[in-house]
A = this chain, B = another copy of it.
Amino acid sequence: MNDTSPAGSALLQVDAPHRELLDQVLDKWSLQVLDVLCGKDLRFNELRRAIPAIGQKSLTASLRRLERNGMIERVVLQTRPVAVEYRIAPVGNTLNELVDALLRWTTENMPEVEQARERFDAVEG
């Protein structure tokens, strides 16, 4: 690759399948759903309580998307009335490890980020 070739990975382009997958599993709510399910299996309403800010509609959409991509499994327990349990799939666990790495990155770099923000806001203030 010489210095006139286009930089950047094609996998990150908005229409690329890899990028589409990232968008579907790392969206606003799925990040958190995945995270709480890594701790333990939970039922629908337990998830709602674990993530108080989420709405029914968003939780349902997030669960369906994560299930469709194989990150979690939906288990219908044959009780009366029926109960539904969600559990993390192995591949979902590997994704969560990367999310944890992102979280560690934010923690390590937060001081530097806040200094940058102060400098920026001071100029354009």
A110's partner among B17, B36, B113 (CB-CB below 8 A) is B17
Copies of this protein in the assembly total: 2
Q: Are B106 and A11 in contact (CB under 8 A)?
A: yes
User: How many residues of chain A get a CB closer than 8 Å to chain B's CBs?
Assistant: 54
Q: Are A91 and B103 in contact (CB under 8 A)?
A: no
Q: Are B18 and A70 in contact (CB under 8 A)?
A: no
Q: Are A36 and B18 in contact (CB under 8 A)?
A: no
A28-63 interface code vs B (CB 8 A; 1 in, 0 out)? 100110011111101000000011010000000000
Binding site for B on A (CB under 8 A): 3, 6-9, 11-15, 17-18, 21-23, 26, 28, 31-32, 35-40, 42, 50-51, 53, 67-70, 91, 94-95, 98-103, 105-107, 109-110, 112-113, 115-117, 120-121
**Would you mind naming 17 contact pairs between A and B with Cβ atoms under 8 Å apart?**
A7-B35, A7-B38, A7-B40, A7-B50, A9-B100, A12-B35, A13-B53, A18-B103, A18-B106, A18-B110, A26-B26, A68-B116, A68-B120, A69-B113, A70-B113, A91-B112, A98-B105
